[in-house]
Amino acid sequence: MAKKQTTEIIVKPDCFIIMPIADPEGYDKGHFKKVYQDIISVSCENAGFTPVRADEVKQTNLIHLDILKKLIESPMAICDLSNRNPNVLFELGLRQAFDKPTVLIQECGTPKIFDISPLRYTEYRKELKYREVLEDQKSLEEAILATKDATDKGEGVNSLINLLSLSNPASLKDVGENDSAKMLQVVMAEMNDLKNDFRRSMRRFDERNEVSLREKEEFHYEYDRAKMEFNELSHLISKEAPEEIVRDFADRIQRRLYKLMDNSRSPALRNRSKRMLMELDMELSRFFSKGKDE
């Protein structure tokens, strides 16, 4: 009598994916869904983990509590920092507070977040070309395995607890069913407060960038006018214009350049104005010395 063959089912540990779920402004529709399907989920599977994203958690009780438990308790996580999403950064902060292993990834060319610059991250290409996707899958798989290996050895990778030499990570107390709703309300309130604080900070950051950009645009407009007037002055000098006209033209250019130097906070922009002033002085020196010689 033939023996029945039994198939052993291997249950892979979860890897919680922290990333934008909706389509952020400036990205093609479904971009991050493609990143998840083409790079992240494949890398997780190859590294021996089951990828779990927040929108895939389908437990029967309070959905936010289930997501929170997955976020904190999953033995591995991947966090995509590409567009500074407030929810993503908050979830990363929670994960860090409990000192859980997390692999950081980021799209090539996106701004780095200075607050977490000491941490290691893996980059992937935005275009999602076939061969680049294969290379990025391999890089992420290696990062997952390296993080798991370091964690098994008690070496924290991307651990703020270790970087800041903190004594103990956060921990959760055991709660019963009656406590779950209250705990969820407290956690959600804290989440909303933190997200609002982050959004305010990002608005201030963007406002400062807008002011800086506006200042640069105004500088370049005034600088171009000064350059055009300088070229006109050179033409007048070449045509041997009267000294009074040359002097009046030069005074107007000098006032414009000194104003640019006073109003610009950028050393590079101030230096551009200073160089044109030096060129102007040299041009005037040649003009007036020529007049004396004659």
27 and 145 inside one domain? yes
- Give the model confidence (pLDDT) of 29-84 as tens digits: 889 999 999 999 999 999 999 999 987 765 444 446 778 888 888 999 999 988 88
Structure-token pair, residue 220: 């370049």
The confidence score (pLDDT) of residue 63 equals: 47
Q: At what angle do helices 86-97 and 177-238 cross, to 10 degrees?
A: 130
Task: Among 152, 172, 192, identify where a domain stops.
Answer: 172
* Residue 117 within any structural domain of the chain: yes
95 and 162 inside one domain? yes
The confidence score (pLDDT) of residue 60 equals: 41
The confidence score (pLDDT) of residue 210 equals: 56
96 and 226 inside one domain? no
Task: Among 154, 172, 190, identify where a domain stops.
Answer: 172
78 and 35 inside one domain? yes
Domain residues for the domain of 214 are 207-293
36 and 99 inside one domain? yes
The pLDDT mean for the chain works out to: 79
* Residue 18 within any structural domain of the chain: yes
* Residue 180 within any structural domain of the chain: no
Number of H helices, E strands in the chain: 9, 5
Distance CA 222, CA 214 (A): 12
The domain that holds 55 is classified in CATH as 3.40.50.450
Task: Among 123, 145, 172, identify where a domain stops.
Answer: 172
Report the domain count for the chain.
Answer: 2
212 and 91 inside one domain? no
The confidence score (pLDDT) of residue 62 equals: 45
Contact 104, 122 (CB under 8 A): yes
Distance CA 209, CA 198 (A): 16
The model's confidence at residue 85, banded by pLDDT at 50, 70 and 90, is confident
The model's confidence at residue 123, banded by pLDDT at 50, 70 and 90, is very high
Residue 110 vs residue 174, higher pLDDT? 110
167 and 233 inside one domain? no
19 and 158 inside one domain? yes
Contact 99, 161 (CB under 8 A): yes
Residue 88 vs residue 119, higher pLDDT? 88
- Tell me the mean pLDDT in the region 239-265: 84
Contact 104, 42 (CB under 8 A): no
The confidence score (pLDDT) of residue 178 equals: 56
168 and 211 inside one domain? no
What are the strands, taking DSSP E only, across 108-225? 121-124
Contact 128, 35 (CB under 8 A): yes
* Residue 3 within any structural domain of the chain: no
- Tell me the mean pLDDT in the region 273-278: 87
* Residue 244 within any structural domain of the chain: yes
The confidence score (pLDDT) of residue 50 equals: 94
Residue 225 vs residue 142, higher pLDDT? 142
On the question of pLDDT at 208 being above 80, the answer is no
Distances (CA, A) of 175 to 96, 178, 180, 182, 222: 22, 8, 7, 10, 66
What's the whole-model pTM score?
A: 0.56
What are the strands, taking DSSP E only, across the chain? 14-18, 50-53, 76-80, 102-107, 121-124
Structure-token pair, residue 189: 């309130």
* Residue 66 within any structural domain of the chain: yes
251 and 165 inside one domain? no
Distance CA 127, CA 65 (A): 35
**Looking up tokens 């060129």, which residue turns up?**
279
- Give the model confidence (pLDDT) of 156-171 as tens digits: 666 655 555 455 655 6
